[in-house]
Amino acid sequence: MIVYQKWLESVGDLASSTSRSFFSTMRRGGRDSRGRRQRYRMAHEDRRFPENTVRYPGIGVIHQRFGQTSEEQLFSNSLPNPALEEFLDILGRRVRLKDHEGYRGGLDTIHGHTGAESVHTTFRDREIMFHVSSLLPFTENDPQQVQRKRHIGNDIVSVVFQDANTPFTPNMIVSHFLHSFVVVQVVEPNSSNTRYKVSVTSRSDVPFFGPPLPSPAVFRKGPEFQEFLLTKIINAETAAYKAERFAKLEASNE
């Protein structure tokens, strides 16, 4: 059974989150003081990226409509959806895959087998290709939407975009790789007062990653929210590689 913990971080939560990571490390047998110092620095990461950040992460984007509570429902959503499209403009720019010459994140830029468009951005010299479920091919008579899940289920971090207040739990999606979800719920979309509520849920062995969420974790649409969100996403990917599953893979390759 996969255990997740939900972090609604604020500045006051930093010390307790660091303590949880520290004592979790001690229960696994401990590390030397240098390792603990590195862990402490990462837990207090603000808007800087750790040096070992994955340069080109592929990040999932899942659309959750009101009342949807199953994997089949989540992967069945398609565009157009004005609220989602407004949010995608914050994440990056829409690119035609056949014309795209940058990082492709495993998407097909020749034959169109993974759809016609996707969302791509370059943020602080890091390219990100988003695997947007609603832009990946929809297959009739396939309730599992294998084409969509093949990409998002192999990502490590996914954004869950909610256009209404609906509960989300990570166990809705069966995946051995997804370790962290950044859940974004829109308020008053496509207006001059568009806002986004943000929460984060991760597997229990993923250490804390910044920047911390403010209290309340509500952001107005704009450049500041974009910077916060992209920083949070990339730091989530970096932190996930310190989880037990990936640590074992790294150890086996040494």
Percent of the chain with pLDDT over 70: 75
Split into its structural domains, the chain has a count of 1
* pLDDT tens-digit series, residues 205-231: 999 999 999 999 999 999 999 999 999
Query: For residues 118 and 89, what is the distance between their CA atoms, to the nearest angstrom?
Result: 11
- What mean pLDDT is predicted for residues 134-150? 92
Residue 167 phi, psi (nearest 5): -65, 140
> Token digits for 28?
């696994």
Residue 228 in any domain: the answer is yes
Residue 126 in any domain: the answer is yes
Range of the domain at 219: 51-252
Residue 137 in any domain: the answer is yes
- Helix ranges restricted to H, the chain: 14-27, 33-43, 71-74, 82-91, 146-152, 223-240, 244-253
Percent of the chain with pLDDT over 90: 63
Residue 39 in any domain: the answer is no
Give me the pLDDT at residue 251, please: 66
Instruction: State the average pLDDT for the chain.
Output: 81
Query: For residues 197 and 165, what is the distance between their CA atoms, to the nearest angstrom?
Result: 10
Residue 140 in any domain: the answer is yes
Query: For residues 21 and 25, what is the distance between their CA atoms, to the nearest angstrom?
Result: 6
Give me the pLDDT at residue 141, please: 87
Residue 2 in any domain: the answer is no
Query: For residues 164 and 185, what is the distance between their CA atoms, to the nearest angstrom?
Result: 7
Query: For residues 46 and 34, what is the distance between their CA atoms, to the nearest angstrom?
Result: 20
Say whether pLDDT at 44 is over 60.
no
Q: Which residues pair with 186 in a beta bridge?
A: 196
Which CATH number fits the domain that encloses residue 240?
Answer: 3.40.50.11210
pLDDT category at 57 given cuts 50, 70, 90 is low
Residue 178 in any domain: the answer is yes
pLDDT category at 39 given cuts 50, 70, 90 is very low
Query: For residues 131 and 112, what is the distance between their CA atoms, to the nearest angstrom?
Result: 14
Give me the pLDDT at residue 12, please: 25
E-state strands within 56-164? 58-64, 93-96, 117-123, 126-132, 157-162
Residue 143 in any domain: the answer is yes
Query: For residues 219 and 206, what is the distance between their CA atoms, to the nearest angstrom?
Result: 25
